[in-house]
Amino acid sequence: MNGVRPGTKRGVERFNIWASLFADDCACLFNTRADLVTGANYMYHHFRRFGLLIHVGTESTKSKTEAMYLPARGDTQESGDTSNFVMGPGHAHFTDNFKYLGNIISSDLTSELDIKKRVGAMTGAFAALKRDIFKNRRICLKTRGKFFAALCLPILLFGCECWCLTEKLFSMISTAFRKAVRMMCGVRWGQVIKHRITTNSLLERLGLKPIRQYIDSRILRWTGHVARMPWRRLPRKLITSWVDHKRPRGRPPTSYVIAYTTQGALKRNGLPVRYSEFSPIAQDRAVWRRHVHGVPAATAPPAAATAARPLPLSAAHVNHTGNTDQSSFFNNGGWVHTQQ
């Protein structure tokens, strides 16, 4: 994103991602099953020395500690050994997907399963409040829209900053959003076709914005937060990193989803897509917040007012990551769990 080619030799820092830590959870990456078994048992006995226990199961009972096999491109789950393995006094099991911090991570590394769960959860919350709020004639449409934006949208878009949206996945979200909008307005699909009622006109009645703008706002908020991180933070490194490995044959899977990711959100909000260009803008929280909320440039303060406080520049670092073609995910309820 900073415009430096992968063959660049200057200003490059190589680093490997071997673990991800959050509170009492962690995830460890292993290249082979043998490394997974060795590393898992090493961690179990090491934590035991400090009075910490990693939850393990039995041969027939699953544990909170799980492993996931990530097949290489062109392979399937059946191509790898996903049988149980011994860990300390018990066993650890393999899984195809797991839930971590509210998000579903699947073995194919796509966002489809997570989005389906989000759509289902939002539909359930909407149905629970439909009679009392969303279809209550004593509540005006603007108030219904505010309730929907405060209660249902956070459920639908939770974790969307990390989604890899394709046209198909975006259509799933947009369809659920438009259906809820029609129900709040009391408009059926047959009336939409007969009277040619547009979604924008219904959104205007409710005081809502198109779903794409809500997604862009969340992506830009997270992008600005990462841009302000110090270089030592892993998210900051990853935003300008690439895998130092020859690209496999075939079309890159990210080439057709660029319109629904960070680059598309930056373009639609009139921001540069190069990290070295949008990072200085993100350092000023007030200026970046106006972009996040989609405030027109005409409402921004004069240039002289903003120029009085210079923006700190951050170097456009580029780095390499190790080969991640094939690895195993070792996790507990999402990642590895330790208990007192």
Of these ranges, 9-13, 307-311, 313-317, the one predicted with the greatest mean pLDDT is 9-13
DSSP string, 179-207: HHHHHHHT--HHHHHHHT--HHHHHHHHT
Residue 32, domain member (yes or no): yes
Q: Are 316 and 276 in contact (CB under 8 A)?
A: yes
Q: Is residue 41 part of a domain?
A: yes
- Residue 99 falls within a domain, yes or no? yes
Give 74-119 pLDDT, tens digit per residue.
787 788 888 889 998 899 999 888 887 778 888 888 889 999 999 9
Count of domains in the chain?
1
Furthest-apart CA pair in the chain: how many Å? Answer: 72
- Both tokens of 178, joined, read 């438009």
Residue 101, in any domain of the structure = yes
Global confidence as pTM: 0.78
Does the residue 217 lie in any domain?
Answer: no
Residue 339: which H helix or E strand, with range?
strand 336-339
The string of pLDDT tens digits covering residues 14-51 is 888 888 888 777 888 898 899 999 999 999 999 899 98
Asked whether residue 85 is domain-assigned, the answer is yes
Lowest mean pLDDT among 76-90, 107-121, 269-283, 325-339: 325-339
Q: Could you report the per-residue pLDDT of 146-193, keeping only the tens digit for each?
A: 999 999 999 999 999 888 888 889 999 999 999 999 999 999 988 999
Burial class (CB in 10 A: 0-12, 13-18, 19+), 331: buried
Contacting residues for 310 by C-beta, under 8 A, at least 6 apart: none
Of the candidates 10, 89, 103, 137, the residue with the CA atom closest to the CA atom of residue 335: 103
pLDDT of residue 262: 86
As a dihedral over the C-alpha atoms of residue 180, residue 186, residue 189, residue 195, rounded to 10 degrees, the angle is -130
The answer to whether position 111 is within a domain reads: no
Which range marks the domain in which residue 330 is found?
18-106+325-339
Inside any domain, residue 193: no
Angstrom distance (rounded) from CA 180 to CA 158: 17
